[in-house]
């Protein structure tokens, strides 16, 4: 990547960074940031077992709800930039609290995070700004929902309004299924997140992820990506947080990207500005490329996981300046990211049973891993009392590789996966099937 812009002024010191979060996304961000020689220390709060593989890094153990202690510690550590990874602290307002205490923060306030934390708010936002998205109804009772579900020509998608760790969306085959899902949400399946339900017209097309780094007014686009949300090969099984990804996606051709910019990205940033929302962070557009053009399926106020792990190796050492510029409100707007000529792909190794119930605490064994153009980012890992890396989440490891074409990328990723073992390890065998010529990889 080449950032064609002047680097931040020397007065904008950038030595000590804290990254908040404990997943593969934060591990990949730390890895990309440590490449910059100006950075002296990267603190991850709380990080995971993978943090120790990051140069210049240290883990912090602090309670994010104890704001006084947090601020005291960050001041003591002379933190120049805070990068907030996950949606929950963003939705709770951590970004603004830290900004009020004079920290430079990459991550929107709770007003901007509402794009993710309230689906009904996001849908009304899109409607107001004429941003293409599926038609919707916001409902507060089962009776109201029943009427809409049974008078609609087709079964409607059902969504809990609030944050539900990616589990709050139900895509039905029949109207009865829509009703059942609505009933479950109103009965409290997702707690407060389900006090309001959004019913949505079902739309069709491939899904892509687009990320805009935003400083409140201006933005820079990262390479596009395609996630694999379903658990099993052939895109079957339940929705997950993401089982793998690749970047860039050829689905976003130049003309489609131009439409996405004109019809979705710029109207979103303009509408945020009209609402006086100073959005400093990443705007994640989950899009569907339908027959009538790109439409927004969802917004997120953070980097996608595993898209982030996939994209970070394509960035050069100046990537961190972009985060700083967003936090400072100092993007020039003409920063262009020139992709390296490489492609990147990621396969997630999960615990058996994910995304439902799974066990943790199994030792992870690494064999002969080829680390040339490959990274193993830790998603859900920790260290046991003997210092051994053990599983500590549903998504355990992100195996990421780069190459001149996607066949090479995924051959390397799957070869490395064969060298990794833990009890119950599970992963999809067909990540990147959309872009691999050699679809059935040998020896998988």
Interface residues toward ligand GLY, by CB under 6 A:
166, 227, 241-242, 300, 304-305, 307
298 binds ligand AMP (CB under 6 A): yes
- Whole-number Å distance between alpha carbons of 123 and 126: 5
**Minimum distance from residue 83 beta carbon to ligand GLY (Å):** 16
Do 68 and 43 touch, CB atoms closer than 8 A?
A: no
Q: Contact with ligand AMP (CB under 6 A): which of 97, 139, 157, 389? A: 157
Contacts of residue 66, defined as CB under 8 A and 6 or more positions apart, other chains included, come to none
Q: Contact with ligand AMP (CB under 6 A): which of 26, 116, 200, 307? A: 200
CA atoms within 13 A on the CB side of 30: 37
Task: Look at residue 339 and give its three-state secondary structure.
Answer: coil
Report CA-CA distances (Å) from 205 to 222, 294, 296, 339, 439: 22, 9, 12, 26, 21
Contacts of residue 271, defined as CB under 8 A and 6 or more positions apart, other chains included, come to 125, 128, 129, 131
Do 94 and 107 touch, CB atoms closer than 8 A?
A: yes
429 binds ligand AMP (CB under 6 A): no
166 binds ligand AMP (CB under 6 A): yes
| Long-range CB pairs of 433-436, under 8 A, 24+ apart, other chains included | 434/206, 434/226, 434/246, 434/249, 434/251, 435/246, 435/249, 435/250, 435/343, 435/406, 436/406, 436/407, 436/410
Complex with ligand AMP: residue 165 or 253, whichever CB lies closer: 165
Complex with ligand GLY: residue 128 or 206, whichever CB lies closer: 206
**Minimum distance from residue 154 beta carbon to ligand AMP (Å):** 10
**Minimum distance from residue 350 beta carbon to ligand AMP (Å):** 18
Complex with ligand AMP: residue 207 or 263, whichever CB lies closer: 207
**Minimum distance from residue 405 beta carbon to ligand AMP (Å):** 26
Q: Contact with ligand AMP (CB under 6 A): which of 54, 98, 113, 134? A: 134
Query: Which does residue 171 touch among ligand AMP, ligand GLY, none (CB within 5 to 8 A, set by kind)?
Result: ligand AMP
Do 23 and 86 touch, CB atoms closer than 8 A?
A: yes
- Whole-number Å distance between alpha carbons of 13 and 81: 9
Complex with ligand GLY: residue 116 or 335, whichever CB lies closer: 116
- Whole-number Å distance between alpha carbons of 209 and 282: 12
Query: Which does residue 161 touch among ligand GLY, ligand AMP, none (CB within 5 to 8 A, set by kind)?
Result: none
**Minimum distance from residue 359 beta carbon to ligand AMP (Å):** 26
Which one-letter DSSP state was computed for residue 191? Answer: G
207 binds ligand AMP (CB under 6 A): yes
Query: Which does residue 200 touch among ligand AMP, ligand GLY, none (CB within 5 to 8 A, set by kind)?
Result: ligand AMP
**Minimum distance from residue 76 beta carbon to ligand AMP (Å):** 39
Q: How many residues touch ligand AMP (CB under 6 A)?
A: 14
Positions touching ligand AMP (CB under 6 A) are 134, 157, 166, 169, 171, 200, 202-203, 207, 229, 239, 286, 297-298
């Amino acid at each position: 990547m080449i950032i064609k812009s002047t680097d931040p002024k020397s007065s904008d010191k950038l030595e000590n960074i804290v990254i908040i979060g404990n997943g593969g996304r934060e591990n990949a961000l730390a890895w990309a940031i440590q490449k910059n020689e100006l950075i002296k220390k990267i603190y991850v709060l709380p990080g995971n077992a993978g943090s120790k593989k990051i140069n210049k890094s240290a883990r912090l153990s602090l309670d994010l709800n104890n704001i006084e202690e947090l601020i005291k510690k960050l001041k003591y550590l002379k933190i120049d930039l805070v990068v907030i990874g996950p949606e929950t602290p963003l939705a709770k307002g951590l970004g603004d609290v830290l900004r009020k205490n004079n920290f430079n923060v990459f991550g929107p306030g709770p007003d901007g995070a509402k794009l993710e934390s309230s689906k009904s708010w996001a849908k009304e936002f899109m409607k107001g700004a004429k941003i293409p998205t599926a038609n919707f109804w916001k409902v507060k009772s089962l009776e109201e929902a029943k009427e809409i579900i049974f008078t609609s020509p087709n079964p409607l998608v059902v969504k809990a309004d609030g944050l539900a760790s990616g589990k709050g969306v139900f895509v039905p085959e029949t109207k009865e299924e829509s009703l059942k899902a609505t009933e479950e949400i109103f009965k409290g399946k997702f707690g407060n997140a389900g006090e309001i339900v959004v019913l949505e017209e079902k739309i069709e097309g491939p899904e892509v992820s687009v990320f805009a780094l935003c400083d409140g007014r201006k933005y820079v686009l990262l390479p596009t990506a395609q996630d694999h949300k379903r658990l099993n090969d052939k895109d079957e099984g339940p929705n997950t947080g993401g089982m793998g990804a690749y970047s860039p996606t050829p689905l976003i051709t130049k003309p489609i990207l131009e439409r996405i910019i004109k019809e979705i990205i710029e109207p979103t940033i303009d509408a945020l500005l009209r609402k006086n929302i100073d959005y400093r962070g990443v705007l994640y557009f989950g899009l569907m490329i339908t027959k009538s053009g790109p439409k927004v399926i969802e917004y997120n106020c953070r980097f996608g996981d595993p898209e982030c792990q996939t994209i970070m190796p394509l960035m050069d050492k100046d990537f961190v300046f972009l985060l700083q510029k967003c936090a400072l409100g100092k993007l020039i707007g003409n920063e262009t990211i020139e992709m390296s000529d490489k492609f990147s792909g990621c396969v997630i190794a999960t615990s058996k049973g994910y995304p439902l119930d799974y066990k943790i605490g199994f030792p992870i064994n690494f064999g002969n891993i080829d680390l040339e153009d490959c990274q193993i980012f830790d998603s859900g890992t920790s260290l046991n009392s003997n210092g051994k890396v053990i599983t500590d989440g549903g998504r355990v490891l992100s195996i990421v590789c780069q190459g001149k074409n996607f066949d090479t990328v995924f051959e390397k990723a799957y070869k490395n996966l064969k060298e990794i073992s833990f009890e119950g390890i599970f992963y999809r065998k067909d990540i990147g099937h959309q872009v691999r010529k050699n679809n059935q990889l040998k020896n998988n």
